[in-house]
Amino acid sequence: MTLSEKTTFIKSTLKNAGFTHIGITPPVTLSKEKEHLTEWINNGYNGTMKWIENRQNERGDIFQYFPNVKSIISVGMNYYTGRVKRNSEKAGISNYALGDDYHEVLKNKLYQSLKLINDKIPIENYRVCVDTSPVMDKVWAQKSGIGWIGKHTNIITRDYGTWIFLGELLVDFKLEYDKPFLEDLCGSCTACIDECPTNALIKPYQLDSNKCISYQTIEYRGEFDDSINLDEWIYGCDICQEVCPWNNKFEQITNENAFQPRVNIINKTNNDWKKLTPEAFSKLMKNSAIKRTKHSGIQRNVNHHLKAKIIP
């Protein structure tokens, strides 16, 4: 196979697997991004997420993570299933967590694609990455032409807005590379910054995780004091995405069945969550991203949400 034929075959295989975005870029050391990451960590903006700090050198230098890498194949998949409705009876759960766990969905699709690719293009060394690997997903997505990093720090695409999951397939051979996405199409818009109820976006393109509702409801393990504002969310938060003009114009309902909301999750009221036993939680959250916060986390979030409603 020629370089062009290899590239075309790989892209078509990944497209057939359901990925809505595919881009390829050569590996480079991310000196500028690594410097920004170090500054971000030194400012304490990673909160209690020590796993970011522990492997920051690999995040900034892809060759430390995978020395044999020659091509970074970035993929994206639309997961949008409609705006999350929130009211006094039912607090919000982020769109991304309403269906099956995206880590498993994307990994399975990447491994299945890899098997098909390997039948025609032998691959000796590779890495499959979905979120938990020490890889700067959004940076590689931008370098591979998928989109640009918005002021809310999410990747934005021209055709689906921000509602996409990202992953990478790192391989040990060269391919034809795509042009990076060099434009910043946020322009003068600051909707995400203006509408964040906790001021977590301290300035354009910089997030203080300590103030972020998603971080508080998912990653943070401590107790909340009365100053914590969850703004009617009990798992994650979609506000900066909901107000993004690119989503308002281009968001599309996903075709991926695995991401469709689970009825036994979206129909639960705040009181239903309060009554949920650890055993029932474990059964309900099988293959769900929500299991990350654990039963104790959901209980803490719901109780704080209900408490906030009765404080004048």
Can you say whether the dihedral through the CA atoms of 174, 176, 182, 186 is positive or negative?
A: negative
Q: How far apart are CA 205 and CA 93, in angstroms?
A: 24
**For residue 218, what are the contacts with CB-CB under 8 A and spacing of at least 6?**
235, 236, 292, 293, 297
The three-state DSSP-derived secondary structure of 255-303 is CCHHHCCCHHHHCCCHHHHHHCCHHHHHHHCCCCHHHHHHHHHHHHHHH
Q: Which pair of tokens denotes residue 261?
A: 């909301």
Catalytic residue among 61, 101, 119, 131: 131
**CA dihedral of 211, 153, 113, 291, whole degrees rounded to 10:** 10
Q: Please confirm, yes or no, whether 272 is among the known catalytic residues.
A: no
Whose tokens are 């654990």? That residue is 294
β-strand partners of 148: 156
**CA dihedral of 278, 282, 283, 287, whole degrees rounded to 10:** 160
Catalytic sites, residue numbers: 131
